[in-house]
Structure 1
Amino acid sequence: MRFTTRPTLQGTFGMVSSTHWLASQSAMAVLESGGNAYDAAVAGAFVLHVVEPHLNGPAGEAPILLAPADGEVRVLCGQGVAPAGASVAHYRGLGLDLVPGTGPLAAAVPGAFDAWLLLLRDHGTKPLDEVLAHAIGYAEHGHAPVEGVGATVETVRDLFTTEWTSSAEVYLPGGRAPEPGRLLRNPALAATWKRLLAETAGAAGREARIDAAREVWRTGFIAEALVRQAGRPTLDTSGERHTGTLTAADLAAWSASYETPATYDWNGWTVCKAGPWSQGPVLLQQLALLPDELPAHDSADYLHLLIEGCKLAMADREAWYGDAAEVPLADLLSAEYNAERRRLIGESAALELRPGSPGGRTPRLGAHARRAAAHGAEP
């Protein structure tokens, strides 16, 4: 018998799980005040933007899966597109053969804020000010940060102090990185959400106010700040300063949208993930790569099978995923293709990147991936 210090949690009223206790606590408070699961999820998400800023934020992305009790599973795509000006020719014109990993040239159209508000509008019940109240409170009055916040800030201390000076004001007050037990405040974010609420207070009804807030994000003072920052020459991983390609037109033209999930049937369950604009279908292919008979759970053979299958699925992600060209997802998840891929799993760990050829197609890999695959890609 195995014992664990983790209790089995049960709830008769409701339950919330997140990566931070303050987000879970806030979401639970929304449930207890009469909100539904969607209200709670949105409130918790905005709190996570405050308490885990090293992991996410309102200008990030949010692929959301929702499964209403009386309806079909849907995906809410909160992944913004690349700006219209982010072309290969533009980057090459700057003397770059790789998009910098940091700085404004790496930025896509922000998607998280619009996705969470669309979810709140269409499925929630609470007004916008009640949902944002928890995030505003923790941003304005402070919270005790987890260790990861300070550790992450230390890795970019020089960048913050020389380039991202407004970030330094928030995350390096007095030159000190955030520490557990010492309150961390983000007054700029609190002021942003307060202004957003003030500018939308006159909207006629709950849904209208949420849509007005989405419009402020896309075309109002927040959009203006995003474009202004994108136009500021900033040091990036190329070692040079560049301005971004994000424009007001990019922000105004994009909004979150619903779509049908990618699915795979396994052991009597239908597993749903976001489409191949995300890496969600990697998990589906990992399931498709499993044989009918699995080794003993937690055995070395079992772990080897899972790890090597993960490598193969990730290699296919490198070769085939994206939103600018056809993604042969049906072939990638087919039984025939994955039976062929499964035969590549040997007794030893594979060290090469080995994308496959679904439907006989030739793998398409970027230059960095081609270098990784150069020592032995297999069909």
Structure 2
Amino acid sequence: MFTTRPTLQGTFGMAATTHWLASQSAMAVLEDGGNAYDAAVAAGFVLHVVEPHLNGPAGEVPIILAPADGPVQVLCGQGPAPAGASVAHFSSLGLDLVPGTGPLAAAVPGAFDAWMLLLRDHGTKTLAEVLRYAVGYAEHGHPAVERIGETVETVRELFETEWTSSAELYLPGGTSVAPGGLLRNRPLAATWRRLTTEAEAAAAGREAQIDAARRIWREGFVGEALADFAARPAMDTSGERHAGTLTGDDLAAYSATYEAPATYEWNGWTVAKAGGWSQGPAFLQQLALLPKELPPYGSPAYVHLLIEGGKLAMADREAWYGDAAQVPLDALLSDGYNAARRTLIGEHASFELRPGSPDGRAPRLGGHAAAVAAGAAVGDARAGAGSGAGEPTV
């Protein structure tokens, strides 16, 4: 069989990411004597540079660790909502939904601290050693992937009128970067250089310097810039300008955390995912919905079963996931619950959003999901579009 994705094999090490430069950087770390965790951190920061439309250091990251000599762990790099992001605050602004873009949508940034914890606790390289690849591509440039320019064009007006510093970077001369064109992010390179320099001056030793970098991110020049930016009113999907609720106190109080994974035993395998604060357990629910005897692999019945089970799991995600402490994960993965849910899979495709009632509790859908569900019930594919929920209706 002819394929463009051959089986890759090796005797030294292997790295896989969504961008070749990140994979190449990870392999360079391995070849330089680093371990898998060093390589993962280096690759993560390169992805911030080469795929900026998809992720960044001020975003979030769920990390699953499977060390050879210990239990599987989850490193939660999902920051909480700022302390000031209360229902009362949004109501006082005349909002019944959190805008999907702009400062009000911002959670406490969690990605940087999680990557630093991973490097400190499991890596062997210094901060400067793993950041040098991202610094190099940000400073000297990298070929832009096609979707960067496409994504920027969807928000061109906002870049030109509201996010002018982003326009300077991604619309040089008023033109979005063409696929393969050289794209630089020198302010980011300068940020990492300054952070590394300050961390090295603040402490001696690899682990102490990484902790110093975490403090600088929270409370130093990076944290100050994040809090200052969040406080500036900016246009969002409500059609009005709002300041965010993120403060320096929110940043200073946050730390990424380790936790046990959500797991499900299937067909002799223990499948591990991040908790209900992520959408990871939806895959575990899909496994739990499968009967013991599956239709022939690749058959129409097999595909139908997987798709319809996926819809049921995603409906539960919409109704139940979010605040991990309140997600009834044990009930959602229980045999009885999934046996009952399995009976909803009929011979024809369902067009309904059908969350379940684990432990008899009534499901609750957010405003956007409820609008989409109501539209599906009456056959209106446009329901929910442009409702201000943010991506992908930006």
Q: TM-score, normalised by structure 2?
A: 0.93
What is the rounded CA distance, in whole Å, between the counterparts of 1:366 and 1:179 in structure 2? 38
What is the rounded CA distance, in whole Å, between the counterparts of 1:152 and 1:3 in structure 2? 33
What is the rounded CA distance, in whole Å, between the counterparts of 1:97 and 1:160 in structure 2? 26
Q: What's the % identity of the aligned pairs?
A: 76
Q: CA RMSD in A?
A: 1.1
**Deviations for 1:95-129, whole angstroms, at most 9, x for unmatched residues?**
00000000000000000000001000000000110
Matched, 1:227 2:231: no
Shifted more, 193-202 versus 97-106: the winner is 193-202
Confirm or deny: 8 A CA contact 1:171 1:178 kept in the other structure: yes
What is the rounded CA distance, in whole Å, between the counterparts of 2:112 and 2:283 in structure 1? 26
Cα shift at 1:294? 1.2
**Deviations for 1:206-235, whole angstroms, at most 9, x for unmatched residues?**
000000000000000001111111111100
SS in 2 for 1:200: helix
Aligned to 2:336: 336
Q: What does 1:190-229 correspond to in 2, within 5 Å?
A: 190-202=189-201, 203-229=203-229
Aligned to 1:123: 122
Cα shift at 1:49? 0.2
Aligned to 2:358: 358
Aligned to 2:67: 68
Confirm or deny: 8 A CA contact 2:275 2:324 kept in the other structure: no
Cα shift at 1:176? 1.4
What is the rounded CA distance, in whole Å, between the counterparts of 1:200 and 1:360 in structure 2? 52
Aligned to 1:155: 154
What is the rounded CA distance, in whole Å, between the counterparts of 1:366 and 1:355 in structure 2? 12
The one-letter code of the counterpart of 2:57 is P
Distance change (3 Å), C-alpha of 1:157 and 1:341: same
Aligned to 1:288: 288
SS in 2 for 1:65: strand
Aligned to 2:11: 12
Aligned to 2:107: 108
Aligned to 2:302: 302
**Deviations for 1:150-192, whole angstroms, at most 9, x for unmatched residues?**
1111111111111011111111111111122321000010000
What is the rounded CA distance, in whole Å, between the counterparts of 2:371 and 2:207 in structure 1? 50
Aligned to 2:369: 369
**Deviations for 1:192-213, whole angstroms, at most 9, x for unmatched residues?**
0011011112211000000000
Gaps of 5+ in 2: 378-394
The one-letter code of the counterpart of 1:188 is P
Confirm or deny: 8 A CA contact 2:277 2:321 kept in the other structure: yes
SS in 2 for 1:198: helix
SS in 1 for 2:79: coil
Aligned to 2:170: 171
**Deviations for 1:310-334, whole angstroms, at most 9, x for unmatched residues?**
1101111111112175211111001
SS in 1 for 2:270: strand
What is the rounded CA distance, in whole Å, between the counterparts of 1:15 and 1:347 in structure 2? 43
The one-letter code of the counterpart of 1:200 is A
The one-letter code of the counterpart of 1:221 is F
Aligned to 1:265: 265
Aligned to 2:381: none
**Deviations for 1:280-306, whole angstroms, at most 9, x for unmatched residues?**
100000000011111222222111111
What is the rounded CA distance, in whole Å, between the counterparts of 1:184 and 1:325 in structure 2? 42
SS in 1 for 2:142: coil
Matched, 1:181 2:196: no
Gaps of 5+ in 1: none
